Structure 1
């Protein structure tokens, strides 16, 4: 029997050759050796690997089942170019160093620790993608990067899986926290995940090699923190380079001490106060339909900045007399329309994001200036009756996003509310006023290009009604407080008499 040989493929295979081939084709690190199949280390590693595969699969399902993220919608014009830019950068920074970093014996690190270091560019890209274009794009980016690694020299199959899962979970950990400190928290959480993944991969695939837990902790935590610091450094550069927004950028623009807002307040205080009131309405409306309330408030802040060039021609800034009484209706219309162009120029001068600048022309749409149009109609003779009303319409465009449509509706409601405030603003009259404003805008076709649905319009209408009813509620006249012994008609008053609200 010892001399028995098998002739296969033109080669004689005896027992010695077969045994040597079997021992060489199955490395000692394989998890499927019969003597290690039920060892505690193998089972522990398998459990950890299974947990992270489950978390990654759940993250993929959550990302694909839901509608696009808020910032994927906000930055929708730049999603494709941002995705491919992040993909190319990650691919270059991962693929080129991979053959050198994955080669055995580098830095005295285990295979898992070297794979963790190699995953650093993918982790940074996943964090940036989550902040700028949403979790769906982050998942796709991590999967494509991991697949690319599987074709490289010295790359084990688990390396590709490791980098893909690490990127997916890093993106979702980034979405859990907000603000600058949120980057550090997400970095620590990512580092903990990396350490546990290293441990699971080692126990499952490479249990025969020495276990170095301290090295795994160091590489895992340091890689997680470095990915957070890299994202913090690159995020503002990506925002400026691609003209996109993140939550941090919106938070900075919310500051009322922004240089442009301070100049706006000093030059056109009435328009500034109108913008602050409009911001309150717009923020509430955006929240009610699931849009970004920060973007709505910021767009309201800056929507009328063009008025500060000629503030005296706008009614909210006039104290003594109305300058339009000295002008023809057509000239008044030209001056009012011009504030849109000036606002766009000012927005570019102060480097406002394009999506915020878009609210300056779009919140007017192509609406008709009814007051000056009717005044011109009354003044012009029968021989020169007015033709088309285009001279008294704003140039547009009409609102093309939900946020700018909200700003248009809120702007009209806030202006009508100021007029109603002079009379008796009962809840019924407030509701009727809002119905009229919405009806006029819809009939004029101003929302034709907006993605607002009828259900969302109804929700915004209810939100505006609740807010204005609470603002213009009936007030009880407080009696004047008197001091015992004081004459009834004395002009002196105590301080409490002025605290009526």
Structure 2
């Protein structure tokens, strides 16, 4: 009322000071006569509520059937039971959800920045992670159309664990649980409904179970089992939560079945496209290494028949490298695989290497420089073979670095002896491998294993003390020659490698028992 009077006063022809005086008088003396009595209002509301007859709805009763037109009374009933949301409840839903998701995945980036710098600083790993997240979000939309309680979290978590790292996968699992569960709904008036909380718990538990099993899996088939076990763990959480929330057994079992079925299907989908990720981004996974380390691989079978001596030497070096890598916590499967292929270049000229010769030595007809050139060339030939068979770059790196810049000592000293006869200078560069030096623990281990196996094999009836002394001399020689200066190995780790070599060599080269009445085995 005062607002109307003031508005009318302003349009009059009175002077300004009279208008101001009028507003002051009205504000001071014009008082409302109809005011709200809060006590009486509350009493009236309580009286009206008491007069309403309560309406009971039995558990499982049908409020509105599928395809039926919803009446206003039915809609009010559904609204009061929080089974639907009114228009006012969803007016800020889209911007709120977007802001919430930005917070979740922003925290994921911050975690990677502070705690997973290897992942955050790698453009390849971050590209993989971005693609996995985008693909998982697309799959989440598909799953939501099928049933809001179905989520593709296992797919993204399993891929992240295999292609990036376990710790990054754990962070992704938490982000998925916080974001995907939001769509599951359920009863309740908070941000997360009952089904959302249940879905969040199921995602967390199933993701952890999947990562735990996948970390120990070396075959692609067992990765499907890892996802299935994760789905089983999630289903157990759903059943337990259903009991707590007093769901019917039918509802709980359907929900649990959705968890297991989606986990199995998504695991098969993940494993099916794993090779594409490996080849596209040149990723070496345990499953891929296990396939490369299989003796039935075409390149290993070719080496077995065309260069059997080299094949036997490679398998011995692989055993040494695997044991040493396990001793210092390096990637044992990668070291073993790299060692198995480290001399594959000898396939081009197998008879130029002593382990493949049968009495006749072709180097007797060549100059020391020519012989050294053929020996050194096997490293370059190996890389050609590996490229032809599409080997991962980490295996290629081991093969390229396992000789470093070492000297082909036998032919170098042979050339030095000939120098005293003809007087021509010996160019040491012609007798050294071109490098580079080992830059990873696995490359350094294969270098040491290769040299130690060849040196110990040259001993005649070696004792444990002979083997120990030879291993120590070889390792010390590599260190003195600067071959390990770019590797991340510590002195403590080198000491553990020496001990591991001694244990393995002693086991591989033990003296066999001579049985009475028979000749010594050969």
What range describes the TM-score normalised by the shorter chain of this pair? 0.7 to 0.9
The aligned runs of 1:57-456 (5 Å cut-off) are: 78-94=124-140, 96-97=141-142, 101=145, 114-117=147-150, 119-120=151-152, 122-149=153-180, 156-157=191-192, 165-174=201-210, 175-176=212-213, 178=217, 179-199=219-239, 212-380=251-419, 384-386=424-426, 389-420=428-459, 422=460, 424-456=461-493
Deviations 1:210-248 (A, max 9, x none): 972232133122122222222222222222222212222
Q: Could you tell me how far apart the structure 1 residues matched to 2:519 and 2:123 are? A: 54
- Map residues 38-53 of structure 1 onto 2, 5 A cutoff: none
CA distance in 2, matches of 1:290, 1:299: 16
- Whole-Å separation in 2 of the counterparts to 1:210 and 1:265: 60
C-alpha distance in 1 between matches for 2:247 and 2:324: 61
2:37 corresponding residue in structure 1: 4
Contact map agreement 1:306 1:342 (CA 8 A) in 2: yes
CA distance 1:269–1:199, shift in 2 (3 Å): closer
Contact in 2 for aligned 1:115/1:162 (Cα 8 Å): no
Distance 1:194 1:367 in 2: 55
Change (3 A) 1:162 1:302: farther
- Aligned-partner SS, 1:169: helix
SS in 2 for 1:182: helix
Residue aligning to 1:41 = none
Q: Matches of 1:374 and 1:13 in 2, distance apart? A: 108
Kept after mapping to 2: 8 A contact 1:312/1:323: yes
Alpha-carbon contact 2:344-2:382 (below 8 Å) kept: yes
Bigger Cα displacement from structure 2, 155-164 vs 303-312 = 155-164
Deviation at 1:436, TM superposition (A): 0.4
Secondary structure in 2 matching 1:400 = coil
SS of aligned partner of 1:157: coil
Contact 2:283–2:392 (8 Å) recurs in 1: yes
- The structure with the larger Rg is 2
2:495 corresponding residue in structure 1: 458
Greater RCO, CA 8 A, separation 6+: 1
Q: Secondary structure at the match of 1:433?
A: helix
With normalisation by structure 1, the TM-score equals 0.72
Which residue of the partner structure matches residue 45 of structure 1?
none
How far apart are 1:470 and its partner, in Å? 3.6
RMSD: 3.8
Distance 2:363 2:418 in 1: 14
The alpha-carbon deviation at position 287 of structure 1 amounts to 2.1
Identify which range, 187-196 or 346-355, moves more after superposition: 187-196
Contact in 2 for aligned 1:304/1:360 (Cα 8 Å) = yes
Distance 1:344-1:397 versus aligned 2 partners, 3 A rule: same
How many aligned positions are there? 418
Give SS of 1:295's match. Answer: helix
SS of residue paired to 1:447: coil
TM-score (norm 2): 0.70
Corresponding residue number in structure 1 for 2:15? none
Structure 2: gaps spanning 5 or more residues:
1-34, 50-75, 84-107
Distance 1:405 1:167, change over 3 A: farther
